[in-house]
Amino acid sequence: MKPLTFDENWPPSWKASYHYDLEEIYGPFTHLGYAYAYEQRRRETIRLLTDVLPAGAHVLDVAAAQGNFSLTLAEMGYEVTWNDRRAELADYVRLKHERGTISYCPGDAFEIDLPRLFDAALITEIIEHTAHPDEFLKRIAALIRPGGYIIMTTPNGSYFRNHLPKFSDCSDSTVYEARQFHPDSDGHIFLLHPEEIEPLGKRAGLQLERFELMTNPLTSGHIKTKTLLRATPKSVVGRIEKLTARLPEEWTRQIFTQIVARFRKPAAAADCQSS
């Protein structure tokens, strides 16, 4: 992945993407918690994919923004299709592309016309921006082949600092449609709770294969731990993260900020979601 040099003549969306790249990939990292949380999320997402699919598999990266997951997988030998509603970001991603096969299909994931079904789809930090998480998951399920996979990451709605509504408590989510697809944390509509993940998958015709909670408040730099994080070696932060993962589930549901899940579309369920 090529490092870029900032250009004042870039469009606003490129400038914003470059700002995120500094915090997520290139550095210097001004918010270590954000950088650590992003690194862990990307590592776990890639692992959940590579555990079940070899290089050469076709992967759709939905709402892929500046393309860091797409480019990483392309460099690992996967056939990747990048997608985002902001079509102009495709050229920003092209600037960073060094090797591997990646194609570009900008547009709304609910509407894009794709020439094939995929072996897997990534939906990382996107479902919380939709007014209809259930319909979104059904749509993505319709884009993968029978036997294929969806890897999802989303903030943990049970985290003790979350004050956003729970999707399963909402009687009419259409009231949120005007707010959906807005970027950043200001665009979060619902934060899914752990007990909502498997039922959402079943409604989309999917089986939940793996479910993980991760990223404690120290790793993420929450609750005024930013100063402590700067003074703590990264290896120690990693060990504390592993230790907290061994806590009882009723604790981890409250203190971990992130959900990572892998769904599988049953091989016998041909295209039942598309009806």
- Report yes or no on 126 lying in a domain: yes
| Residues listed for the chain | 275
Residues 150 and 126: their CA atoms lie apart, in Å, by 13
Residue type at 47 in one-letter notation: R
Q: 205: which DSSP letter?
A: T
- Domains identified in the chain, total number: 1
Q: What is the distance, to the nearest Å, from the Cα of residue 88 to the centroid of all Cα atoms in its chain?
A: 20
Beta strand 207-214 with 258-264: parallel, antiparallel or unpaired? antiparallel
- Report yes or no on 274 lying in a domain: no
- Report yes or no on 147 lying in a domain: yes
Running along the chain, 275 residues long, what does each successive block of 10 average in pLDDT? 94 95 91 94 97 98 96 98 96 96 94 91 95 95 97 96 90 87 83 96 97 95 87 94 94 96 84 41
Helix 89-96 with 68-75: angle, nearest 10 deg: 40
Contact present, 20 and 40 (Cβ < 8 Å): no
- Residue 146 is predicted with a pLDDT of 97
Contact present, 259 and 195 (Cβ < 8 Å): no
Residues 30 and 12: their CA atoms lie apart, in Å, by 21
- Report yes or no on 134 lying in a domain: yes
- Residue 269 is predicted with a pLDDT of 46
CATH number of the domain within which 41 lies? 3.40.50.150
> Which domain does 236 fall in, by range?
28-265
Residue type at 104 in one-letter notation: Y
- Residue 271 is predicted with a pLDDT of 44
- Residue 110 is predicted with a pLDDT of 87
In the block, tokens 């731990």 appear at: 225
Residues 216 and 238: their CA atoms lie apart, in Å, by 10
- Report yes or no on 123 lying in a domain: yes
- Residue 226 is predicted with a pLDDT of 83
- Report yes or no on 5 lying in a domain: no
Strand partners, 260: 153, 212
**3-class SS of residue 103:** strand
- Residue 5 is predicted with a pLDDT of 93
Backbone angles phi, psi at 187, to 5 degrees: -90, 5
- Residue 270 is predicted with a pLDDT of 44
- Report yes or no on 86 lying in a domain: yes
- Residue 187 is predicted with a pLDDT of 85
Q: Count of H helices and E strands in the chain?
A: 10, 7
- Report yes or no on 17 lying in a domain: no
Picking from 6, 34, 54, 10, the residue whose alpha carbon sits closest to that of residue 221 is 34
Contact present, 264 and 48 (Cβ < 8 Å): no
